[in-house]
Amino acid sequence: MKLNAASEKRLKGVKPALVKVVRRAAELTGQDFQIVQGNRTQAEQNRLYAQGRTRPGKVVTWTRNSKHLGGGAVDFAALDAGKISWNAKLYPAIADAFKEAAAELGIGIKWGGDWKTKDWGHVQLTGKSTTKPHVHKVPEPKDTKPFLKRGSKGATVRELQVILNVARIQPLLAIDGDFGPATEKNVKAFQRIFGLVPDGLVGKLSWNALLE
């Protein structure tokens, strides 16, 4: 997806490393998103902190010292048919794109959805660069990969989707662990490229080609 104009505007003042991650995540993701907040001034943070404390409203932040100060964090929202959606189910796929982008770029990030107090639409820099340039961990071909087909679900499907995306089979898939029609289509495309029977069934031969 292409970042919309509103997103680009909110990236102003955000640290360049994080801007890079956001832009790359936008290329990788199958789930559209928009940046809803980037850099915050201390005055803005103080105002947010007061909400639910000395001002009416719901508590929305735990700290006066947010990573948003100085542009070390961004908040994003999922877009569903072009409209902002807070359905938490849509967020892990976006977070996966952020994590993959960050790993590729060697930039450390944390996703708020991994915290105990879930902040689904928040990503921040850790300030550490992940030292090694990212190499996709492709496991050794083994016979132990499960047979996958349309309707399969779970971590191995996610792995399959990541590999198909890394192989740049278009359009890129949402990493949602759900082997649906889009995943099946890309499996068939992959099989055609590798001279396999394009049946959309991921058995031993397909796994061997995928893990090569």
Residues contributing to the site for Zn ion (CB under 5 A)? 75, 122
b or e along 116-144 (b: 16 or more beta carbons within 10 Å of the residue's beta carbon)? eeebbbbbbbeeeeeeeeeeeeeeeeeee
| Token duo for residue 27 | 């290329």
| Choice between 71 and 177, CB closer to Zn ion | 71
Which is closer to Zn ion, CB of 15 or CB of 122?
122
Min dist. Cβ of residue 106 to Zn ion (A): 23
Task: Give me the least distance between CB of 68 and Zn ion, in Å please.
Answer: 6
Q: Shortest distance, CB of residue 79 to Zn ion, whole angstroms? A: 18
Q: Phi and psi dihedrals of 103, rounded to 5?
A: -65, -45
- Output the smallest distance, CB 67 to Zn ion, in A: 7
* Length of the chain as a residue count: 212
Report the residue number, 75 or 184, with the smaller CB distance to Zn ion.
75
What ranges make up the beta strands (E) of the chain? 33-37, 73-80, 83-85, 107-111, 122-129
Q: Which residue is nearest to Zn ion (CB)?
A: 122
Would you say 113 or 198 has its CB closer to Zn ion?
113
CA dihedral of 73, 87, 49, 124, whole degrees rounded to 10:
-10
Query: Minimal distance in Å, beta carbon 123 to Zn ion?
Result: 8
> Of 14 and 148, which has the nearer Cβ to Zn ion?
14
Contact assessment for residue 9 and residue 34, using Cβ atoms and an 8 Å cutoff: no
Q: Please, what is the Cα angle at 139 between 137 and 144, to 5 degrees?
A: 150
Return d(Cα 64, Cα 41) in angstroms, integer: 11
